[in-house]
A and B are shown apart, each in its own frame.
Chain A
Amino acid sequence: MKKIDKERLLLGIAAPVLAIVVAFLVTALVLAATGKEPFSAFGIMFDYGLKSDSQVYILNKATTYYLAGLAVAVGFRMNLFNIGVDGQYRLAAFFAAAVGGALTLPGALQIPLIILTAVIVGAMWAGIAGVLKVTRGVSEVVSTIMLNAIATAIIGYLLQQGRLGHLDEAGTKISTKPIPESSHFFEFPTTPSPVWGFIVVAVVAGVAYWFTLSRTRFGFDLRTVGQSGSAAEASGVDVKKMVITSMLISGAVAGLIGMPTLLNDSYEYSGDFPVGIGFTGIAIALLGRNHPIGIALGALLWGFLERGTGKLEFEGYDKEIVGVIQGVIVLCVVIAYEVVRRYGLKRQQSKVGAELAAQAARNNDQQEVSA
């Protein structure tokens, strides 16, 4: 059976690799169509993307993306499509920033408090969609999209002077009150710029995700619901409770997404806080096959693409090209996974059939014929 395992691993890697290769080919065609030379563009991207300052940039970006991928993946494993990760992390980061700016406790106390605020806000916001789903049958796709819009409105309303907003000294930018220096997260003193310490939290979250899903009863129940709701129910899983629980977890992880930026970079929530990372998370979770290591690779790839194409702009290429690559990757990934999954299943079925037929022939035993 070692053989089948190895094969499964190979098939698992085949899909994303195939998708990325196809994506680059399509991108090359697009570049060629716009009259640019595609391969020198890729050359620039790789050259620049592998420089040491780029490496730091990619790691920092990937930290955020990784958490986003995990948040989405928790839902995916449950067959829930949490599109609302975007709203959840923004709302969470906003309230966490507000709490952080309002208090001046020792860092050892205040940092956990800020993170906890974010986690709770994210979980609550996602929980609304979970409750609506189990009590009223509202599709989480619809409700989380709506909640994203509501989150935007709430932040817009509260981020004003006199409410939770704070005008900076120059009087040009409104943000939450900056978090005191004592509550900044630690950094790795790398050159030329530091790597955010929050990467450690991201790694811990990834390990926890892996362990919970594959080694605990709770994780088994969650995966069961994701694979077959009817079988899960018959096996004794309280599916409704599971929907709410997993939405809460997904939202809690989503709450962490804004933390690397908040605690390692911006120290406040303002109008230029990064947006749209929840959607990036969907792409990364898909790319990484909901696997903790796959998601990490996906997050790094995303960071690399952004870094590399940033440079392209200076070289006279259209920076939109990164969007094309990313979009095509996601599209290819979805198709490639389905193709590889079906192929793998079929292949295994026939393999099992072959092994059994051989066994039966040897024993001259009763033979199972697939009818």
Chain B
Amino acid sequence: MELRGITKRFPGVVANHDIDITVRRGTVHALVGENGAGKSTLMKILYGMQKPDEGTIAVDGEQVSFHNPGDAIARGIGMVHQHFMLADYLTVLENVVLGSEKLHGIGDRARARIKEISDSYGLGVRPDAMVEDLGVADRQRVEILKVLYRGARTLILDEPTAVLVPQEVDALFDNLRELKAEGLTVIFISHKLGEVLSVADEITVIRRGTTVGTADPKRTTTKQLAELMVGSELPSPETRESTVTDVPMLTVDGLRLSATDPDGVVRSVLDGIGFTIHKGEVLGIAGVEGNGQSELVDAIMGMRHLDAGVLTLDGDDISRTPTRKRREGGMGVIPEDRHRHGLLLEAPLWENRILGHVTERPNSKGAFLDLKGARADTERIVREYDVRTPGIDVTAASLSGGNQQKLIVGREMSHAPKLLIAAHPTRGVDVGAQAQIWDQIREARREGLAVLLISADLDELIGLSDTLRVMYRGRLVADADPATITPEELGSAMTGAATGHLEAPDESPAPKDTAPESAESTDTDPRNGGEDR
């Protein structure tokens, strides 16, 4: 497959220009670039979701033009999206045949075909399992199978490892190698350089919407690749000196939360959660998404009613305090889903600056809004936090993700929080903004802020945190010292394979049922010591 001179302009922005890529058949070709570099746009063009303004695409030497994904599939190009598109309450078989009933029917012929594909590429997919019972990695394999079932010979995988823990990533890479061995082509989009180097045969780097170079994974280091990608030195989340004090800011004790699932069954989503965050401490929670992290944030913010447990913020019991009081009391929140929980997308920036802090100065005086104060302070946030916007009257929706996030960080930091809940603070944010957000968290921490950090980016977690906890199925199953832990060890704890205190790789982990309480008592690290007690 060859791409020549691809250019795509959106009004006012050039998302892609002069992209040249050659992908050889039977290889894994990685496409790397930081968030916002234009990878996704390029993929949409390749998959027929958008049309390039200039340039040509050739498949097997033949020039093609795609008007919709159907055209791309007809040419043997299939896409595995970052967000899975599966129906939970259907079986794998039903999900696979959905929309392609004409290929092999919907019965035994389809089942046989699925088994055949699954076996020949080592996917291990069970056609009659319900999708809702499958884990993330299995769902991903179903997505891959779906694409293969439709006859794809070239697979585009958009950030396939973002949702996986390291062990699952290895398994995925084995699958990709199988595909390659069978003569299929894989285009692999990622910004995780280590992974790219281990799986790709060829690498193309995209920066600011254009291809800036290719690299041979055998002769390139992650550092060289990173510099090619960013155009300069890569920022690191590392925190050097410790600012942890022994003054507890947030104490969570015996927290239990249950929820009713769609079938009416009540199950606990959080159980026996206990930890303390001190002034100047960043507590990182690692875990595969969906293991109770969002619920933990909701519980601390007061958006869910606790079934048991006590929350103490700066000496005050806030277990029953409403959300607004908690936020007034010094709780800052960078929400996981900024569009749903952090912004009013169709409201201007200055109204977004008021959101969540309407009762506080400079946003209001008494019962009345202080429009002048809020607007002036929005201008300040835009300036100090480098929010790239032509003004404060534009809607939040018109800013890029990174700038929306900078506005949120600026807003939350402007009310001198005692505790900052940062859920995936740099997700979908470009490298420049990422470094800024890290700096701001570090700075605030130096001034005595306590931070609860939840992230799927293990490097970010290890780099920023003073203490690490691992969450698995609603429990804190392990803790670790970020100074010594490696992403691999952390990843294995995230799958529930290791529990207790993760010290060194050769130490045998504590038995599962004693975690987390007993793990703390054996904790000898001075920085972790005394925590919880």
User: For chain B residues 133-167, which have a beta carbon within 8 Å of chain A?
Assistant: none
Selected contact of A235 from candidates B38, B345, B358, CB within 8 Å: B358
Q: In the complex the two chains form, is B368's CB within 8 Å of A216's CB? A: yes
Q: Bound complex: CA of A234 vs CA of B355, how far in Å? A: 9
Q: In the complex the two chains form, is B11's CB within 8 Å of A220's CB? A: no
Confirm or deny: A236 has a beta carbon within 8 angstroms of a beta carbon on chain B: yes
In the complex, per-residue mask of A198-226: 1 if CB is within 8 Å of any chain B CB, else 0: 00000000000000001111111101100
Among A352, A353, A359, residue most surrounded by chain B Cβ atoms (within 10 Å): A352
Confirm or deny: B91 has a beta carbon within 8 angstroms of a beta carbon on chain A: no
Q: In the complex the two chains form, is B41's CB within 8 Å of A234's CB? A: no
In the complex, per-residue mask of A216-245: 1 if CB is within 8 Å of any chain B CB, else 0: 111111011001101101111110000000
Confirm or deny: B21 has a beta carbon within 8 angstroms of a beta carbon on chain A: no
User: For chain B residues 341-389, which have a beta carbon within 8 Å of chain A?
Assistant: 341-347, 351, 354-359, 364, 367-369, 371, 388-389
Q: In the complex the two chains form, is A354's CB within 8 Å of B13's CB? A: yes
Confirm or deny: A331 has a beta carbon within 8 angstroms of a beta carbon on chain B: no
Q: What's the minimum C-beta distance from B105 to chain A, rounded to whole angstroms? A: 39
Q: Bound complex: CA of A233 vs CA of B337, how far in Å? A: 13
Q: In the complex the two chains form, is A233's CB within 8 Å of B397's CB? A: no
A22-30, A92-100, A289-297, A342-350 - the one binding chain B: A342-350
Selected contact of B346 from candidates A221, A227, A352, CB within 8 Å: A227
User: Considering only CB atoms, which chain B residue lies closest to A4 in the complex?
Assistant: B393
Q: Bound complex: CA of A217 vs CA of B365, how far in Å? A: 9
Among A4, A230, A349, residue most surrounded by chain B Cβ atoms (within 10 Å): A349
Q: Bound complex: CA of A368 vs CA of B325, how far in Å? A: 37
Number of interface residues, chain A, beta carbon within 8 A: 41
Among A216, A223, A231, residue most surrounded by chain B Cβ atoms (within 10 Å): A231
Q: What's the minimum C-beta distance from A274 to chain B, rounded to whole angstroms? A: 36
- Which A residues lie within 8 Å of B13 (CB)? 350, 353-354, 356-357, 368-370
Q: Bound complex: CA of A119 vs CA of B162, how far in Å? A: 56
Confirm or deny: B440 has a beta carbon within 8 angstroms of a beta carbon on chain A: no
In the complex, per-residue mask of B386-417: 1 if CB is within 8 Å of any chain A CB, else 0: 00111111110111101100000000000000
Q: In the complex the two chains form, is B303's CB within 8 Å of A233's CB? A: yes
Given contacts A217-B367, A220-B369, contact A236 B208 (CB under 8 A): no
- Which B residues lie within 8 Å of A170 (CB)? none
Q: In the complex the two chains form, is A371's CB within 8 Å of B389's CB? A: no
Q: In the complex the two chains form, is B344's CB within 8 Å of A228's CB? A: yes
Confirm or deny: B430 has a beta carbon within 8 angstroms of a beta carbon on chain A: yes
Given contacts A216-B367, A233-B303, A234-B356, contact A371 B41 (CB under 8 A): yes
Q: In the complex the two chains form, is A371's CB within 8 Å of B39's CB? A: yes
Q: In the complex the two chains form, is A220's CB within 8 Å of B323's CB? A: no
In the complex, per-residue mask of B317-357: 1 if CB is within 8 Å of any chain A CB, else 0: 00000111111100001010000111111110001001111
Q: Bound complex: CA of A350 vs CA of B400, how far in Å? A: 11
Q: Bound complex: CA of A356 vs CA of B41, how far in Å? A: 19
Given contacts A1-B390, A369-B208, A371-B35, contact A349 B398 (CB under 8 A): yes
Given contacts A217-B358, A220-B358, contact A368 B340 (CB under 8 A): no
User: Considering only CB atoms, which chain A residue lies closest to B325 in the complex?
Assistant: A236
Among A1, A230, A357, A369, residue most surrounded by chain B Cβ atoms (within 10 Å): A369
Given contacts A227-B347, A231-B343, A369-B36, contact A345 B358 (CB under 8 A): no
Number of interface residues, chain B, beta carbon within 8 A: 62
Q: In the complex the two chains form, is A236's CB within 8 Å of B40's CB? A: no
Q: What's the minimum C-beta distance from A348 to chain B, rounded to whole angstroms? A: 5
- Which A residues lie within 8 Å of B79 (CB)? none
Main secondary structure of the interface of A (DSSP, over half): helix
In the complex, per-residue mask of B426-443: 1 if CB is within 8 Å of any chain A CB, else 0: 000010100000000000
Confirm or deny: A367 has a beta carbon within 8 angstroms of a beta carbon on chain B: yes
Q: Bound complex: CA of A216 vs CA of B371, how far in Å? A: 10
Selected contact of A368 from candidates B341, B392, B430, CB within 8 Å: B430
Confirm or deny: B37 has a beta carbon within 8 angstroms of a beta carbon on chain A: yes
Q: Bound complex: CA of A221 vs CA of B351, how far in Å? A: 11
Confirm or deny: A272 has a beta carbon within 8 angstroms of a beta carbon on chain B: no
Given contacts A217-B367, A236-B327, A368-B430, contact A4 B391 (CB under 8 A): yes
- Which A residues lie within 8 Å of B40 (CB)? 371
Q: What's the minimum C-beta distance from B296 to chain A, rounded to whole angstroms? A: 14
Confirm or deny: B478 has a beta carbon within 8 angstroms of a beta carbon on chain A: no
User: Considering only CB atoms, which chain B residue lies closest to A348 in the complex?
Assistant: B398
Confirm or deny: B209 has a beta carbon within 8 angstroms of a beta carbon on chain A: yes
User: Considering only CB atoms, which chain B residue lies closest to A366 in the complex?
Assistant: B432
Confirm or deny: B61 has a beta carbon within 8 angstroms of a beta carbon on chain A: no
Q: In the complex the two chains form, is B369's CB within 8 Å of A217's CB? A: yes
Selected contact of B394 from candidates A4, A357, A370, CB within 8 Å: A4
Confirm or deny: B176 has a beta carbon within 8 angstroms of a beta carbon on chain A: no
- Which B residues lie within 8 Å of A367 (CB)? 208
- Which B residues lie within 8 Å of A1 (CB)? 390-394
Q: In the complex the two chains form, is A357's CB within 8 Å of B14's CB? A: yes
User: Considering only CB atoms, which chain B residue lies closest to A346 in the complex?
Assistant: B11
Q: What's the minimum C-beta distance from B172 to chain A, rounded to whole angstroms? A: 23
Q: Bound complex: CA of A370 vs CA of B398, how far in Å? A: 10
Q: Bound complex: CA of A109 vs CA of B342, how far in Å? A: 49
Q: In the complex the two chains form, is B393's CB within 8 Å of A217's CB? A: no
Confirm or deny: B15 has a beta carbon within 8 angstroms of a beta carbon on chain A: yes
Confirm or deny: A351 has a beta carbon within 8 angstroms of a beta carbon on chain B: yes
Q: What's the minimum C-beta distance from B209 to chain A, rounded to whole angstroms? A: 5
- Which A residues lie within 8 Å of B398 (CB)? 345, 348-349, 351-353
Q: Bound complex: CA of A238 vs CA of B402, how far in Å? A: 29
- Which B residues lie within 8 Å of A236 (CB)? 322-328, 356, 359
Among B209, B343, B344, residue most surrounded by chain A Cβ atoms (within 10 Å): B344
Q: In the complex the two chains form, is B38's CB within 8 Å of A371's CB? A: yes
- Which A residues lie within 8 Å of B325 (CB)? 236
Q: In the complex the two chains form, is B341's CB within 8 Å of A352's CB? A: no
User: For chain B residues 1-20, which have a beta carbon within 8 Å of chain A?
Assistant: 10-15
Confirm or deny: A5 has a beta carbon within 8 angstroms of a beta carbon on chain B: yes
- Which B residues lie within 8 Å of A369 (CB)? 13-15, 36-38, 208-209
Q: In the complex the two chains form, is B390's CB within 8 Å of A352's CB? A: yes
Given contacts A352-B390, A371-B35, contact A234 B323 (CB under 8 A): yes
Confirm or deny: B30 has a beta carbon within 8 angstroms of a beta carbon on chain A: no
Q: In the complex the two chains form, is A238's CB within 8 Å of B322's CB? A: yes
- Which A residues lie within 8 Å of B301 (CB)? 234
Confirm or deny: A355 has a beta carbon within 8 angstroms of a beta carbon on chain B: yes
Q: Bound complex: CA of A221 vs CA of B367, how far in Å? A: 11
User: Considering only CB atoms, which chain A residue lies closest to B356 in the complex?
Assistant: A235
Selected contact of A238 from candidates B324, B341, B371, B392, CB within 8 Å: B324
Q: In the complex the two chains form, is B355's CB within 8 Å of A231's CB? A: yes
- Which B residues lie within 8 Å of A366 (CB)? 430, 432
Q: Which A-B residue pairs are the 7 nearest by beta carbons?
A: A354-B12, A236-B324, A350-B11, A1-B391, A235-B356, A353-B12, A234-B341
Q: Given A349-B398, A353-B398, output 9 extra A-B contacts at Cβ < 8 Å.
A: A1-B393, A216-B369, A217-B368, A235-B323, A235-B327, A236-B324, A348-B398, A357-B12, A370-B13
